[in-house]
Structure 1
Amino acid sequence: MKLYNTLTRLKEDFTPGKPPQATIYTCGPTVYNFAHIGNFRTYIFEDVLKRVLEAQGFNPRHVMNVTDVGHLVSDDDAGEDKMELGSQREGKTAWELARFYEKAFFDGFSSLNCRMPDIVCRATEHIPEMIALVRKLEADGFTYKTGDGIYFDTSKFPHYYRLAGKSHIEGLKAGARVQFSEEKRSAADFALWKFSPQDKKRQMEWPSPWGTGFPGWHIECSAMAMKYLGDTLDIHCGGVDHVAIHHTNEIAQSEAATGKPFARFWVHGEFLVTKDAAKMAKSSGEFLTLEVLVKKGFEPLDYRYLCLGAHYRTQLVFSWEAMEFARTSLAKLREAARAASAVCEGAADAKGAEKHMAEFDSAVADDMNMPRALAAVWEGLRDAALSPAAKLALAKNADAVLGL
């Protein structure tokens, strides 16, 4: 099985540390609002990854976090906590807000046939682990204190730009993507622990050796991933928007603390975009939810089919015409499987379907090439020489990965 590794920029043979187990950490939702369908594209590709690993004989162990504190509105460590802002917007406590949107997220997640992780870990339930990790970094000389928190000194970590490439520093300059604090030694330095503002009471804050406050967004993932999966993960997943800052910072703080590689493979999914190539994002205020798709007469699995029609590392352009095509295609696929099942009375027999199955397996093992995999399924179902029992076997074999 081959996967594209963002870290090396190569498609590589996947070999886990302790086969057949394959450990996977995926960045979960920040539960301050509904997830949009662009968010769910990432979770669909991660679900397919788990299914492909199983089909290739691995035993995935999957951990997903829920960010329910510490994700600020800026790419940097400036601005309000999204949870606190959401609380003010909706008149709920931050805790009520988190549980409401967490449930909404997993309802949508399940409706897309995404299988639940082995462990779902909330940031607010792992504060001691985060504090312990920051203390380790402090003891090893990787931190410094400013007026608003404890920061990681990126100059102490020589390979800081390895994942994203050094060019992204241009986007970190003051006045660009982030707000530059004069107290920070470098624009790339990031908060490990933020102090609560003295003039404003936060709902979510905890005592720490440095003062009352809350964890930085990046430290949350490192602490939870290493607690449940060890110092070195086999695969760390997320969207491409995580590469330059969030995942770069995770690598820095994790490897500074342990002296070991944090993840063997970094696997990232591309954006869902609109026709004018704009990324779908909650920050813009314009985004589509699964609920909107359902109200327009689609089912969530129509959207899953749409996502399977594009390689996970290519941008997917959303349109209602594309959704109509996906709905029609899924209906035809189901009908072909039902028709074959009716003729053979549900008795699948793979004899004769070996060529199509091999083509499907080859496609999914090649960096999850789902468009090619779908084409192999359609070719088999349209093959007049294939018996209904063989067609049913092909459909069942494929659906273990497709999840339709």
Structure 2
Amino acid sequence: MGKKQFYETAKPQETAVLVAVPGYRQSDEQTAEYLDELAFLTETAGAKSINRFVQKLDKPDSRTYVGSGKLDEIKAFVLEHNVDMVIFDDDLSPSQVRNIERELQVKIVDRSLLILDIFALRAKTAQAHAQVEMAQYQYLLPRLTNLWTHLSKQKGGIGMKGPGETEIETDRRIVRDKISLLRDRLEKFEKQNFEQRKSRAGIVRVALVGYTNVGKSTLMNLLSKSDVFAENKLFATVDATVRKVVLNNIPFLLSDTVGFIRKLPTKLIESFKSTLDEIREADLLVHVVDISHPSFEEHIDVVNNTLIDINAAEKPVLLVFNKIDQYLAQRELELQHEGADVRPSLDDLKETYMAKEHAPALFISAKDKLNIEELREELQRRVAEIHYERYPNNI
């Protein structure tokens, strides 16, 4: 008998190039950070980014997003390296997708589609699946509108115009019917959620909010002693998780919610209404920030602006700077490079502008369990205030 032959059955990892068109006012450092985030999104979705293309313009080209010279440059690289897709750090119009696709002959993905894909991967519950599917169909509808008209123009009207128009109307109707069915399904979920929230009426509710990948799920696990999925990937959690926590004999409900991100698709925010209701109906928001990230201040602004968008900006907020273990290690290296013989500490952090500007603010490491007791004490104090205001006879 001859030797057994083994065949590779695993699909090879898809490759991608990333494209950004920053304005002239945007610094190179900021552009690099934004592309790092896009690369992380790409990795989270399961692909590997192998190159980046940047073109500074007052505004993106209305036809092809980048100028013709840059598009030729991207095309040459895509052909030479057999790249699977090109990912853009902005939303593209249907006509831009069509024009770019025609030139490059590979899959074209914009920022919204990439984020929707990650949400589809991460959704665990029936409700989350329905929410993501709804957002995907809403994203698809205007793009379907242009598909068949494009083909009829390209092929000429003979033998194409009639069927093309019939096809597009059929596609539109199918997608609209799907959206209608999903909307009905989500309304049923919403009624169930409303009943659940009604049954929890009276108990203090606290919601963890923050930019994606700041460590909310790790903190949730610490505070509630539960097992919520936590991973160093963007959008590890897309379903709202609610746990009962008791601190010093006072119970409250703690919810871990979907992370926010720069340019979060509007349709996704609309679809995740019930998940975001956990934030809207909370008595206290714990805003978790990754202090080790170079753009943490911008992340704070993104979260604050998203809270405004979902009508939750007036809630009382406790700001918690997480990952101080990484921040202090980075700061120590910087000081060594400057020739200073000192080690930064938690006390040093408490004296910084961050602590004073965002007071009250706490500094913790959920991973290393640093300063968690101070967080528990502050949470207990805040929850007790709300609880005794609600139930004065319990004092």
- Structure scoring higher RCO (CA < 8 A, sep ≥ 6) equals 1
Higher helix share: 2
Q: Which protein shows a greater Rg? A: 2
Would you say same fold, with TM above 0.5? no
Q: What range is the shorter-chain TM-score in?
A: under 0.3
Q: TM-score, normalised by structure 1?
A: 0.26
Q: TM-score, normalised by structure 2?
A: 0.26
